[in-house]
Amino acid sequence: MANLHTTFAGISSPNPFWLASAPPTDKAYNVNRAFEAGWGGVVWKTLGEAGPPVVNVNGPRYGALLTPDRRLMGFNNIELITDRDLEINLKEITEVKRNWPDRAMVASLMVPCEEQSWKAILARVNDTGADGVELNFGCPHGMSERGMGAAVGQVPEYIQMVTEWCKHYSKLPVIVKLTPNITDVRLPARAAKQGGADAVSLINTINSIMGVDPYTLTMSPSTGGRGSHGGYCGPAVKPIALNMVAEIARDPLTAGLPISGIGGVGNWRDALDFIALGAGNVQVCTAAMVYGFKIVQEMSDGLSNYMDEVGITSVGQIVGKATPTVTNWQHLNLNVISKAVINQNSCIQCGRCHIACEDTSHQAITATKDGKRFFEVKEDECVGCNLCAVVCPVPECISLRDLKPGEKDLRTQHVVSDKHADWTTHPNNPTRVTQAA
Amino acid sequence: MSITLPPDIRPGRLSAQEYAHRFADATPRLTSAQAVLEAERCLYCFDAPCATACPTSIDVPSFIKRIADGNLRGSARAILEANPLGGMCARVCPTEDLCEAVCVKNTQEGKPVAIGRLQRFAVDALMESDKPQLFTRAPRTGKTVAVVGAGPAGLACAHTLARMGHDVVIFDAQPKAGGLNEYGLASYKTPDNFAQRELQWLLDIGGIEVRNGWKLETVTQLDALRQDYDALFLGMGLAATHQLGVAGSELDGVQDAVDFIATLRQTEDLSTLPVGRRVIVIGGGMTAVDAAVQSKLLGASVVHMVYRRGPDTMSASKAEQEWAQTNGVVLHHWLAPLEVVGHHGHVSAVRFAEQALVDGKLQPTGRELSWEADVVLKAIGQQLGNPVLNQAGLTLDAGRIATDAQGQTNLPGVWAGGDCRAGGLDLTVEAVEHGKQSAAAMHAHLCQA
C-alpha cells in the first residue's frame, strides 16, 4: 500500500485527508473519534474571541439537495462558528493534540477585524500545541453580517492586513480560507500571499437557498416560518471548487502557494481531482456528516490502491500534475476534430443519446436503421460535443474519437491538420494575432 | 383392481387465518419508498419500447417519471388517459411478456423496471385520494350508445364515450358489472373488491347507466338496440366453453374452470367453498392456472394441471406457469384426456394418452396413464356460444365476430371488441384497447350523423 503521508505548509499528517472546520470538529469527543477512524488531520471548528459565545438557532441548521432516491447531492448549513466557550475549546485542542502527536491539528479562527483581537487569540492558540491556524474568511452567513467571515474574505485588502497580523503575532503556519462568494478568486488568493500566508484553503461554502415548501410556500428549511441563506457544500459544489483551485494554482502570482482543496470530496477520486489540479491535501466535511468518520478509510484505501496501480509513491508526486492541462479557451486547438462513437455491443437501445442530440444539439444520431431501432452517429453532422456520452446510462458505451491528421472531417469536408490552430489566430477573430502565441 | 374411495369434496379444509393468508394480494403494493427507488431505475427512453409494447400505448416513461417527481396524480393521469382500466391491467397484465419484456434494463441489468407494480402504485394512490376523479365529460352530444357486456371492453368503450359527451347504457347478463374482472380473474390478483371499486370510479364520470341481468337471447333484442340507440358496441365476451369430447365428461365432479372461478370470486367466506382433495385441471391457459392454483390454495392435496402440448405453446405465460408450479401445482405436458372414469356417477379418475409431435402433428405414443381425482376442472378454451349473433347477420370469423381494425362489424352502426372479437389475444389490456378504439370510431361516426 502506497504511503499517503503528506506535509502541507510545513504540517505533517499521515494522509492528505483532513476534516474541515465544521460541526464534526467541534469538540474533543468528535475529533478523538475522527482520529481513531483514521483522519490525517482536523481543522478545529472556528474559535471566536473570548467572552460569551455565539448562539445558534434552535430550529433546523441543515438542508439538503437530494435525488428522488435520497442520495445527497448538495448540503447547506446555517451553523455559526463554535458556540462553546473559548477556554473549553483551547483546553480540548491541547489535550487532543498531545494524545495524537502524528495528526495535524489546525485551529480555525474568526475574530473581529482588529489587530488586538487577532493578537489575543493567536497567543492563546500558540499555547495549545496546534500545528497551524486557518483564518476563516469564508463563512457566508451569520458572521459576515457582523463584519467577519466572508465580509473580510470579499475584500482583498482586509485579507492581506489580517494575514500580516497573524504572521506577526504567531510562528504557526497560516492558512487563509477563501470564500467562493466572489467574482475572481485569484484576487483574495494573491492578497493572502501578499500578506505572507503559508497556504490557502478553498472553497468555503456558497450562499444558497435550498428550496420552498410547496404547500406553505415558505422558504425551506425554515425556523418559525422564515429561513436565511446558508452555506452550500457537498458533491454538487466540487466542480466550482476545482475551478477555483486550478485558477489559483495556475496564476503566476500565486503559483506554488500550497492549497488545501475543499468542496465535495466524498471519495478518493474527488481527492485525486483536487490534488492533481494543485491542492496539497483535501479537507472534508459533508461526506463525514453523511456517512460518519469511517468514510476516510475508503478514501485512503482508494487513493493508496490507485497510487500502487499507476506506480506513484507519494501524494506529492500528484500535486499539480494536471494544472498545466488547464488553459484558457482561446488556446484550445481548433484543429482537433472529435466524433462520437457508439459501441453497439454495449448499447442498450434506450435512445437517450438520440433524443438529446436531436432535440438539443446537432441531429447527429440516428433513431432507426432499415426500419429498426438503431442508434448510430452521423459523422457528417457530429461536432464532437460529448452530450451523447454524458447522457448515456452505460459506462464507456459512447466515447469520443479524435480524427487522425489526414482524415477527412465529414461534417466540414476538411482534411484534419496536425498543426495547432486556436482562436488567437483564427480568421474570424477580429483581434487575431498573425502568429499563435 | 384398486379400491375406489368415495369422492372427497368438502369445504373448510383450512383455518380462517390460513384462508386470509393464502388469498391475500399475490403481489403486494409497493411502498412509497420502494416506488420512488424503482421509478428512479427508469431511463426515460426515447420512443420507449415499453410504451410501444403496451396494447393501450400507455406513456410508461412519463408515468414513471411523475412517480419519481412526486406527482402521483399526474402519473395516474398518464396511465388512465391511455387505459381507463389501468388499475386492473396493472394487476393482471402479463407484463413479463409485454412492457417489461422489452425494457432496456433487461439488457443493462438483467432486470426490467417493475412497470406493472409502479402502474398499480400510481393508480391506487389516485383511487384512494380525496379527489379520485380525473376526467370531466365534454358537453353532452345528445347521442346515446348501447353497450352489451360490462367487461373490460364494454367499460373502456363506455367510459371513453362518456368522456366525449355521449350517454351510454350498458347491458350485462350478470348481477354485477365487471365481466371477467369480477367473475373470471384469480382472486389473489384483485383482492379487496378492486373490480367493483374500479367500476365505481369508471361510472363516477357520469352518463353511464348499467342494466344488469339482461341477456341477449333473441335477434329482436339486438335489432331493438340498433333501433333505439345511436350506435351499438358488443363486448359480451365468450359465453360457452369448449367440450372435452371424451366419455365421462358428464359425470358429477366434472366442472368448467370458469364456473369454479366465478363461484370462488363471489364467495364471501371461502371456508364455505367445497374443494376436492385431488383435483385435475385440463388446459394450458391462464384460466387453467387460476383454477389450479386456487384449488391448491383452498386446500386440495394434489392438483395436476394437464396440457396436451409442450410448455412453449401454453397460452399461460412462463411467469404464470412458474406461479402455478411454485404454488404446488404439478404441471404435466403432452397428455390428452382419453376418458373421465366414474364411480357411482361421480368422477374417480382421468385417463390420459401420451402424445408427441410427429412431423409437426400431434400423435399418440401409445402410452397411457391415469390419476385419481375427486374433481376435474375443464379449462380448454371458450367460444362465443351465442347463436343470436350469427342469426342477426353478423359475420363471424373462427367463431368470433369479424371486425375491421377499429372494431366495426359488417352491420352498420355496430362495433365489437374484447374476447368476442375475432383475431385477438384474449388479454384484458387488449379488450380495453378494443373498447377505446371502437369508442373513437363510434365518436367519429356519431359526430358525422
pLDDT per residue as tens digits for the range A369-420: 999 999 999 999 999 999 999 999 999 999 999 999 999 999 999 999 999 9
Residues of B in contact with A354 (CB under 8 A): 46
pLDDT tens digits, one per residue of A397-409 = 999 999 999 999 9
**8 Å CB contact of A68 and B68:** yes
B67 → chain A, closest CA residue? A68
User: What pLDDT does B449 receive?
Assistant: 66
Selection from B271, B256, B257 nearest residue B16 by Cα: B271
Residue A243 reports pLDDT greater than 80:
yes
Residues of A in contact with B48 (CB under 8 A): 351
pLDDT tens digits, one per residue of B432-441 = 999 999 999 9
pLDDT tens digits, one per residue of A47-90 = 999 999 999 999 999 999 998 888 999 999 999 999 999 999 99
How is residue A376 written as a grid cell? 448510430
Q: Is B104 on the interface with A (CB under 8 A)?
A: yes
**8 Å CB contact of B49 and A349:** yes
Distance of residue A358 Cα from the nearest chain B Cα, in angstroms: 11
A393 → chain B, closest CA residue? B43
**8 Å CB contact of B36 and A352:** no
The minimal CB distance from A394 to the residues B40, B47, B108 is found for B108
DSSP calls for A69-99: T--EEEEEE---S--S-HHHHHHHHHHHHHH
B109 → chain A, closest CA residue? A348
Q: Which pLDDT band, with edges at 50, 70 and 90, does A151 fall under?
A: confident
Count of all residues that appear for chain B in the document = 449
DSSP reduced 3-state for A16: coil
User: What pLDDT does A69 receive?
Assistant: 80
- C-alpha torsion sign, points A332, A336, A337, A343: negative
Selection from B286, B285, B276, B277 nearest residue B255 by Cα: B276
Residue A437 reports pLDDT greater than 60:
no
Q: What is the ipTM of this complex?
A: 0.87
Count of all residues that appear for chain A in the document = 437
User: What pLDDT does A148 receive?
Assistant: 80
The minimal CB distance from B46 to the residues A67, A367, A393 is found for A367
Beta strands in A57-140 (DSSP E): 62-66, 72-77, 104-109, 132-136
Q: Is B31 on the interface with A (CB under 8 A)?
A: no
Q: Is B68 on the interface with A (CB under 8 A)?
A: yes
Distance of residue A349 Cα from the nearest chain B Cα, in angstroms: 6
Q: Is B364 on the interface with A (CB under 8 A)?
A: no
User: What pLDDT does B269 receive?
Assistant: 94
CA distance A416 to A419: 9
CA distance B40 to B67: 9
Catalytically active residues of A are 139
pLDDT cut 70: percent of chain A above it: 99
**Do B170 and B154 contact (CB within 8 A), yes or no?**
yes
**8 Å CB contact of A367 and B47:** yes
pLDDT in tens, chain B (449 residues): 467 778 999 999 999 999 999 999 988 899 999 999 999 999 999 999 999 999 999 999 999 999 999 999 999 999 999 999 999 999 999 999 999 999 999 999 999 999 999 999 999 999 999 999 999 999 999 999 999 999 999 999 999 999 999 999 999 999 999 999 999 999 999 889 999 999 999 999 999 999 999 999 999 999 999 999 999 999 999 989 999 999 999 999 999 999 999 999 999 999 999 999 999 999 999 999 999 999 999 999 999 999 999 999 999 988 999 999 999 999 999 999 999 999 999 999 999 999 999 999 999 999 999 999 999 999 999 999 899 999 999 999 999 999 999 999 999 999 999 999 999 989 999 999 999 999 999 999 999 86
Q: Which pLDDT band, with edges at 50, 70 and 90, does A435 fall under?
A: low
**8 Å CB contact of B40 and A373:** no
**8 Å CB contact of B46 and A68:** no
Residue A119: phi and psi, rounded to 5, are -60, -45
B213 φψ region: left (φ > 0), alpha (ψ -120 to 50), beta (else): left
Mutate to test the interface with A, among B31, B41, B46 (most CBs of A within 10 A): B46
pLDDT tens digits, one per residue of A322-356 = 999 999 999 999 999 999 999 999 999 999 999 99
Give this prediction's pTM.
0.91
A368 → chain B, closest CA residue? B47
Distance of residue B69 Cα from the nearest chain A Cα, in angstroms: 7
Residues of A in contact with B40 (CB under 8 A): 67-69
CA distance A388 to A357: 7
Cis status of the peptide bond prior to A24, with omega within 30 of 0: no
Residues of B in contact with A360 (CB under 8 A): none
